[in-house]
Amino acid sequence: MTLVDYELQSEFARCYQARGAAKALLIILREREVSFSEETRRRILGCSDLGQLERWTRRAMTATSIDEVFFKEDLVDMGLRDRVEVARIQGAASMLSELLSEVKGFSVSCDLRDYLYTRERLGQLQQWIPWAMASETVEEFDRHIGRGPSEDEMIRRAVGPVQEQSAQ
């Protein structure tokens, strides 16, 4: 049975299964002494596509460089112009994600991060930067870009804040 054979029902469960798969991939890379940047670590941890994480993990088992993990199959059929455009889009998505989490201090969900990284138009991401700066909450930013609240946010609203129970 592979990671993608069983489909989890809740976004919360899928997000945390993806996070576990991403952490396992990072462990494999470290154990194989494949060096990678902080940006690459964030890219792996930000991925919520279990199929993609499984493909990367399979490649990591034999890879000697991080390029073999990410670019071995993904960019083979792409021309240089297409690869440059993909890199520019991924850079803009990374910048927007960091702006939301590091500068604004928002908790960026796996779902939102994945949404940003799967955009196909650079101009769209660039248009969202002023909205990210102007937004007071991540939910407000979601509304600006045409997304409603995430499933996690709807659960939090329905259940209310989780309160820690003190040990007695």
In this predicted model, what pLDDT tens digit does every residue of 144-159 receive, in sequence order? 888 765 555 666 666 7
Residue 138 CB contacts under 8 Å (≥ 6 apart), including other chains: 100, 104, 106, 107, 108, 109, 112
| CB 148, CB 142: distance < 8 Å | yes
Amino acid, single-letter form, for residue 165: Q
At 155 the pLDDT is: 63
Amino acid, single-letter form, for residue 137: T
CA atoms within a 13 Å half-sphere pointing along the CA-CB vector of 130: 3
State pLDDT tens for residues 31-79: 999 988 888 888 898 888 888 898 889 889 988 888 788 765 555 555 6
Share of the chain above pLDDT 70, in %: 73
Q: How far is CA 33 from the centre of its chain?
A: 23
- How far apart (Å, rounded) are the C-alpha atoms in residues 42 and 63? 19
CA angle in degrees (0–180, nearest 5) for 57-58-61? 85
Section 108-129 average pLDDT: 82
Average pLDDT, the chain: 78
DSSP state of 166: P
Region for residue 115 given its phi and psi (left: phi exceeds 0; alpha: psi -120 to 50; beta: otherwise): alpha
At 143 the pLDDT is: 85
Give the global pTM: 0.46
- Tokens, residue 43: 């890219």
At 9 the pLDDT is: 57
